[in-house]
Structure 1
């Protein structure tokens, strides 16, 4: 019954967007159509593609194997390879982080609805000002550069994780915003690379808090331009690891509307964001896959 209800709601949602989409090659899936348009933008404008974009495209490449339509897979796969080859040529073979590998993202978590913990204990803020203060509190939560070092450690030290990184990425340690989503990435890669058996419990804990933040961002901040990138990261990551609460029609509708006519994604309606393009590439492939499988 739950599955039928979800499928019915999403069918209405997807149909309502058909007239909004204008693409260079017509695909039958609203999400894949938008991904196709984004990839065209990246092919035509290679100067806008950076490592943030490429990581999202590699995630999309890892998920392409699950598409049911061989034509969709062929069209999108060809364009993905075009973007990757041009980036490699442009970068001159410069070394990238070891997790820039599409095979790491050939995962298929079951999508579960209704499992997240409500009213997470760390969710204390009630205003935009208090939320921004917590998100920017580098003194009491992991800093971005430390998180990056810990991500690299997973691959360079053959899963021998340092006490420092285990402390930094402790799911019980206070974190908000990007620090929290990066903590989820760390534990996800630890699960894929090192087979950390605690990942289901850890991801549940982290995404329960992220869900509270996502609801706050959408409802209270009305998704201010500076919050769009973070919001996209939250929605993609937690839905990708199987939490169906993030497959919220209204949230995803808003994300789709952030694509400009050129194909790129924007935080202010004017400027393209390379990082949002990467998040969009990963999200659209994943959402399109779920739509094909009637799981969305």
Structure 2
């Protein structure tokens, strides 16, 4: 049972929301917070909500230019806000969460907007990318990304290993596994092919190959394959938590290297993806103010996340045409992702997707942490 917090007002305006929340956190932990810390915490939550709001505004006007990968990001963000709002509603039954009606309403509206964008995007992708949608469109299912955590997790940094900076998996491999796993759950069962289990658990991966391991595990667990995952993990002498801890520890190690190297432009996309996919599981190591500062700074004035300098002058910055899968054009030496798509105002569909997911994870963390719920 939580301590009585009657000394802190439960009514907060949006601008004072985090001040009130951290006042309540102080009552729980008995720690003194400086006024500067209060102000900074308030600003981070407001800035994160505003950034996701601006991103949603951009997509409301340009969602017809998006691809399936873009709407995976908006569905993850929607799922994070949905799970947060459910948590708040449940907690209100037993404790007075200091959440203002204005902020509660704003979060609900933002979730609804992300749901609208994803639903409209799903219709467009099903029409424009029928084969791709047939294979992995199930990842856009509402509720799939309502991943919650009861408490923050701390990574064991001794699990981090240094590996060669080489991608070992193809995106098509993880797509094939998503197709097979989701297809096997349609009648209430679950089959995880051995090659897919090997992809999920093989050690020594880097970059997108590593984050796609986590992506596959998260999809499989939420799609109804929890028992099969646990059975396979036990057969390997591990638990599912052990596997997730190992993957995210290495994701964290690679993210730290990107930060230590000054956040090169060519690493922005993978860096945000790393924070998103492990952050939604509640690994507190990923919720750093300095990392959030950079994600917020990289947002374009239009609300999206850009592709950097145009690759070729012959490509219009406002072109909505997908770059060909075999394209060798690069951004500062980095080959573009297979499912990347250039949108209005030189915006990147994939980078905007992972930013939406990461911002949703940060908003959920800030609210739960400040309320003492985790």
Please give the TM-score of this superposition, normalised by the length of structure 2: 0.65
Match of 1:278 among 353, 358, 365: 353
CA contact (8 A) 2:68 2:122 kept: no
TM-score by length of 1: 0.81
> 1:154 and 2:181 equivalent?
yes
User: Using a 3 Å threshold, how does the CA distance of structure 1 residues 264 and 6 change in structure 2: closer, same or farther?
Assistant: farther
CA distance in 2, matches of 1:224, 1:6: 37
Pairwise CA RMSD: 2.8
Flag the structure with more relative contact order, 1 or 2, with Cα contacts below 8 A and sequence separation at least 6.
1
Task: Say which SS state the counterpart of residue 104 (structure 1) adopts.
Answer: coil
Deviation at 1:264, TM superposition (A): 0.6
Residues 142-195 of structure 1, C-alpha deviations (whole Å, 9 max, x = no match): 322112111222111232112222222224x32110000000111122222211
**In the aligned structure 2, how far is the partner of 1:277 from the partner of 1:34?**
11
1:99 counterpart SS class: helix
Counterpart Cα distance in 2 of 1:160 and 1:58 = 24
| Change over 3 Å in CA distance of 1:105–1:85 after alignment to 2 | closer
Describe the shift of the 1:80–1:150 C-alpha distance in structure 2 as closer, same or farther (beyond 3 A): same
1:52 paired residue among 65, 69, 87: 69
Question: Is 1:135 the equivalent of 2:175?
Answer: no
Q: SS at 2:364's partner residue?
A: helix
Give distance in 2, aligned partners of 1:80 and 1:276: 16
Q: 1:79 aligns with which of 113, 136, 141?
A: 113
Q: 2:343 maps to what in 1?
A: none
**What runs of 5+ residues in structure 1 fail to find an aligned partner?**
18-27, 125-130
Q: Which runs of 4+ in 1 moved over 6 A?
A: 1-10
Change (3 A) 1:238 1:7: farther
Tell me the distance in 1 between the aligned counterparts of 2:195 and 2:214. 17
Give yes or no for the alignment of 1:230 onto 2:260: no
Residues 77, 170 of structure 1: alpha-carbon distance in 2 compared, 3 angstrom cutoff: closer
Shift of 1:39: 0.6
- When residues 116 and 88 of structure 1 are mapped into structure 2, their CA distance, relative to the original with a 3 A threshold, is closer
How far 1:55 sits from its partner (Å)? 0.6
Structure with max Cα Rg: 2
Shift of 1:30: 2.3
Q: Secondary structure at the match of 2:110?
A: helix
**Residue 245 of structure 1, CA deviation:** 0.5
- 1:208 equivalenced with 2:249 (yes/no): yes
Tell me the SS of whatever aligns to 2:268. Answer: helix
Q: 1:78 to 1:116 in 2, by over 3 A?
A: closer
Query: Which runs of 5 or more structure 2 residues have no equivalent in the other structure?
Result: 1-25, 89-102, 231-238, 311-345
